[in-house]
Amino acid sequence: MLVAEVLIFAPIDRALFYAVPDALHGMVQVGSLANIIVGQSKKIGLVIALDEKNPATLSYPLKPILSTVYDIPIADATLIKLYFWIAKYYLCDLFSVIDTAIPSVIRKNIPFKLISCLQFASQNEPAIDKKKFPKQYEALQFLRRNPSIAKSEFLEKFSRNILEALLRKNIIYETFQRQERIAYGALDLLNKCSENITLTPEQTQIVASVTRSLASKIFNVHLLHGVTGSGKTEVYIELIRHVLNRGGSVLYLLPELALTAQVVEKLRSRFEGLPVLVWHSGLSDGERRDAWQGALNAASTVAVGARSAVFLPLNNLQLIIVDEEHESAYKQGEHPRYHGRDVAIYRAKLYDAVCLLGSATPSIESYFNTRFKNYKLEMLPRRIDRCQLPLVHVVDMRYEKNVFSRLLIKKMEERLEKKEQIILFLNRRGYAPSVLCKCCDFIATCPHCSIPLTYHKTKNLLICHFCSYREALHSKCPKCGTIEILYNGIGTQRVEQMVNELFPQARAARIDSDIMGKKHEFIYFLSDFRRKKIDILLGTQMIAKGLDFPNVTLVGLLNADGSLNQQDFRANERTFQLLVQVAGRAGRGEISGEVVIQTHIPGNEIIFLSKNADYAEFSVSELKMREMFGYPPYRHIINVNLSGENLELLKLFSENFSKKLVDFLINDSVEIRGPMVSPLEKLQNRYRYSILIFVRSVSKIVEKLQFFRSQLTIPSGIYLAFDVDALDFL
């Protein structure tokens, strides 16, 4: 009897066994989605193994698999190995992994999109009296020129009565054809570039280096460190061309949904006829369904997407590109807390593929791996076409009275007069980050989270950016009754108001998550900006990376040192990366650019290094500090997150958990810190504690931690989660 081992899409901590009926032999394969019965309910499961067993050796009768969801497997055996590795390395259950890797839109098997088309009923020449039925005759001539046309397109030119008359006379008949739902297929908004680009000697050398790795068919990781505007994308395109010519597939990962449109359009214009697949959460169910199917069917293709695209079932995968590899957006914030970049590297290892990481400001971990592990460092130290890096000015805001420094205002006036474009960056949305009373100590705070509410003037609401709680703005202080309310700090809405007051003739637009709710709205804004319908673009980190606008000659960073105040050992790294990336948006065309960095600590080392985009000096200093304190990359950090609504119970459990953990790992080379109250003490009505485990090797400790957790009795109401290689300590 053929027996299938099946992982259920339900919170069950192990695989179950099912009999494969004779009628389904050959249809049920490893990687198939199967309809099964669990208890009394119908469920869907993923077949992870098949084996012939003697029914006499089984201790209980097996239920049969009812049917398969698809005719072909939706994942191969190697991809299933990746699921198991993620569950093991990131200390999470397999259900959460497959639930993320194979989303519900794929499990639903929603139908293909069908459109109604019109065709001639036979090869015989239909006859219509031109004088008696002139409109029918005209429609017939139109159909002769368009022998197979969508019904909707026909009805744009002719009435429904004409259509019905032709159908009654059996001159034409109606049929249905599948229409593939292609993401961004109907958009023509960003810059197309179909001409062949001549690579620089440096670019050619890097392409040759990666090509040699591809030819070896042995797993390799290359880190492409190129300054902003150095032509990293052209290197990617040339390597994609090479892989496609070899009959392979390429996975191209990006950290933000906002970056996908310009990359997809550039690839489609360079590889005419290639249906570049797109995958991210901002697409419709139909677009994602068809992209997944396209990945399954295509022998050779390119897929572009955000973090979750790392799970696409591509055939003959040879190259994985992780652009802006330093971005924290690659790390998933909820269960399972995997890092898309690291999963991409491990997937490349499983497939004997090449993984190419790219960034102008590589993560310290990746740069470290080029020095002490087997990553190959590739360098693009100059911008293409001899373009110069922008001239950077640092303004001491301690001597300025307004949000906009005098120098920034002057530079903006000069650039606007020349019809050039400006980007302003502030990583705080809303109007004011907090609202407080001048007369007492009242601060408007979220009742569910330990954080001040942000005032959004456009909605006249106080909003929590963590749990989305909302309340009306107080006209007077709820505590002392005065009307002396202070809007503390600045957000993008307030800056937009100031820009309109300072430059009433300029066309300004704000881009942040508050106004980017509609599908493709971000792309429309960027299209208008590229077509110079917008003079000043103001935004948060959505505009900080990857975007290429040749007419942008001035970038202003309004609160450059804001991220330096975070309680995180990565604060220096994140600030350096952010400042260099934002500054890199300036001067990417023929006109040289300028950057104005506004800060209250102009003498800070990170501000100085960012001004000069001196990654070499920054990395030396940062690695020295990390080694001194035993921070990554010298050790890994596993953040044990504990939360509960009962503060006393949580505190008691955290202390007991920590003591037991110390005793359990007494013979292992680990350091345990905590329990400690999380910087964001309360989130969504749950109090939060953290315990940090510092360890040299994750792979040597994860099995012990899994066993330790399995032996725990966790009180009701307490939630415990491991965050391996944690990036967020809030």
In a domain, 452, yes or no: no
For residue 84, give the nearest of 305, 347, 348 by alpha carbon: 347
In whole angstroms, give the CA distance from residue 103 to residue 285.
10
Do 368 and 285 lie in one domain? The reply is yes
Give yes or no for a cis peptide into 478 (omega within 30° of 0): no
Do 619 and 538 lie in one domain? The reply is yes
CB 316 within 8 A of CB 247: yes
**CB-based contacts of 494: which residues, under 8 Å, 6+ apart?**
403, 431, 432, 457, 487
Give the per-residue pLDDT at 202: 95
* pLDDT confidence band for 192 (50 / 70 / 90): low
Do 160 and 213 lie in one domain? The reply is no
CB 330 within 8 A of CB 306: no
* pLDDT confidence band for 559 (50 / 70 / 90): confident
- The fraction of the chain above a pLDDT of 90, given in percent, is 64
Do 369 and 330 lie in one domain? The reply is yes
Radius of gyration of the chain, Cα coordinates, nearest whole angstrom: 29
Give the per-residue pLDDT at 500: 95
φ/ψ of 622, rounded to 5, equals -70, -40
Work out the average pLDDT over 120-140: 77
In whole angstroms, give the CA distance from residue 513 to residue 491.
13
Do 497 and 598 lie in one domain? The reply is yes
In a domain, 143, yes or no: yes
Q: Output the domain CATH number for residue 532.
A: 3.40.50.300
**Looking at the DSSP assignment, which residues form a beta bridge with residue 687?**
644, 682
Residues spanned by the domain of 617 = 387-429+491-626
Residue 343 has pLDDT above 80, yes or no: yes
Residue 561 has pLDDT above 90, yes or no: no
Give the per-residue pLDDT at 172: 82
Amino acid occupying residue 214: L
In a domain, 255, yes or no: yes
Q: 316 versus 549: which is more confidently predicted?
A: 316
Do 15 and 128 lie in one domain? The reply is no
**Tell me: the pLDDT tens digits for 213-242?**
999 999 999 999 999 989 999 999 999 999
Give the per-residue pLDDT at 614: 95
Strands 536-539, 434-437: pairing is unpaired
**Tell me: the pLDDT tens digits for 71-113?**
999 999 999 999 999 999 999 999 999 999 999 999 988 777 7
CB atoms within 10 A of CB 298: 17
Do 533 and 666 lie in one domain? The reply is no
Q: Where are the alpha helices (DSSP H) in 402-480?
A: 406-417
**Tell me: the pLDDT tens digits for 367-407?**
999 998 899 999 999 988 778 889 999 999 999 999 999 99
**CB-based contacts of 453: which residues, under 8 Å, 6+ apart?**
434, 435, 444, 445, 446, 462, 463, 464, 469, 471
**Tell me: the pLDDT tens digits for 607-653?**
999 999 999 999 999 999 999 999 999 999 999 999 999 999 999 99
Structure tokens at 32: 């198939």
For residue 328, give the nearest of 427, 236, 231, 230 by alpha carbon: 427
The last residue of one of the domains, among 604, 626, 648, is 626
Give the per-residue pLDDT at 361: 96
Give the per-residue pLDDT at 688: 96
3-state helix, strand, coil in the chain (%, to 5): 35, 25, 40
In a domain, 190, yes or no: no
Residue 140 has pLDDT above 90, yes or no: no
Helix (H) or strand (E) holding 400: none
* pLDDT confidence band for 197 (50 / 70 / 90): confident
In whole angstroms, give the CA distance from residue 511 to residue 492.
9
* pLDDT confidence band for 410 (50 / 70 / 90): very high
**Tell me: the pLDDT tens digits for 567-618?**
889 999 999 999 999 998 888 878 889 999 999 999 999 999 999 999 999 9
In a domain, 74, yes or no: yes
In whole angstroms, give the CA distance from residue 611 to residue 606.
8
pLDDT averaged over every residue in the chain: 90
Give the per-residue pLDDT at 186: 61
Residue 3 has pLDDT above 90, yes or no: yes
For residue 539, give the nearest of 501, 512, 559, 558 by alpha carbon: 512
CA angle (672 as vertex; 667, 673 as ends), nearest 5: 160
Q: Can you point out the beta strands (E) in 577-620?
A: 594-599
**How many structural domains does the chain have?**
5
**CB-based contacts of 725: which residues, under 8 Å, 6+ apart?**
331, 339, 342, 632, 636, 637, 638, 698
**Looking at the DSSP assignment, which residues form a beta bridge with residue 379?**
225
Give the per-residue pLDDT at 111: 78
Residue 189 has pLDDT above 60, yes or no: no
Give the per-residue pLDDT at 72: 92
The conformation of residue 309, written as its DSSP 8-state character, comes to: G
Question: Alpha-carbon dihedral of residues 386, 382, 618, 542, nearest 10 degrees?
Answer: 80
**Tell me: the pLDDT tens digits for 641-691?**
999 999 999 999 999 999 999 999 998 889 999 999 999 999 999 999 999
Do 259 and 366 lie in one domain? The reply is yes
CB 729 within 8 A of CB 679: yes
Q: Which of 73-82, 202-211, 485-494 comes out lowest in average pLDDT?
A: 485-494
**Tell me: the pLDDT tens digits for 169-184?**
888 888 887 777 778 7
Structure tokens at 349: 């290892």
Do 45 and 169 lie in one domain? The reply is no
Give the per-residue pLDDT at 728: 87
Structure tokens at 53: 């067993």
In whole angstroms, give the CA distance from residue 601 to residue 305.
38
Do 580 and 644 lie in one domain? The reply is no
CB 347 within 8 A of CB 338: no
Residue 729 has pLDDT above 80, yes or no: yes
In whole angstroms, give the CA distance from residue 14 to residue 147.
56
For residue 557, give the nearest of 579, 532, 533, 588 by alpha carbon: 579
**Tell me: the pLDDT tens digits for 112-124?**
777 888 887 765 5
Give the per-residue pLDDT at 170: 82
The last residue of one of the domains, among 53, 73, 107, is 107
- The fraction of the chain above a pLDDT of 70, given in percent, is 97
Residue 522 has pLDDT above 80, yes or no: no
CB atoms within 10 A of CB 456: 20
Give the per-residue pLDDT at 125: 58
In a domain, 475, yes or no: no
* pLDDT confidence band for 303 (50 / 70 / 90): very high
Do 163 and 217 lie in one domain? The reply is no
In whole angstroms, give the CA distance from residue 600 to residue 397.
5
**CB-based contacts of 504: which residues, under 8 Å, 6+ apart?**
none
In a domain, 279, yes or no: yes
Q: Which of 287-291, 295-299, 538-542 comes out lowest in average pLDDT?
A: 538-542
Q: Output the domain CATH number for residue 673.
A: 3.30.70.600
Q: Which of 59-63, 362-366, 576-580 comes out lowest in average pLDDT?
A: 59-63
Q: Say whether 471 sits in a helix, a strand or coil.
A: strand
**Tell me: the pLDDT tens digits for 434-485?**
999 888 888 999 999 999 999 999 889 999 999 999 999 888 888 888 888 8
Buried b (16+ CB within 10 A) or exposed e, 640-673: bbbbbeeeeebbebbeebbeebeeebeeeebebe
Q: Say whether 456 sits in a helix, a strand or coil.
A: strand
In a domain, 466, yes or no: no
Do 55 and 146 lie in one domain? The reply is no
The last residue of one of the domains, among 66, 89, 107, is 107
- Count how many Cα atoms sit within 13 Å of the Cα of residue 400 in the half-sphere of its side chain: 18
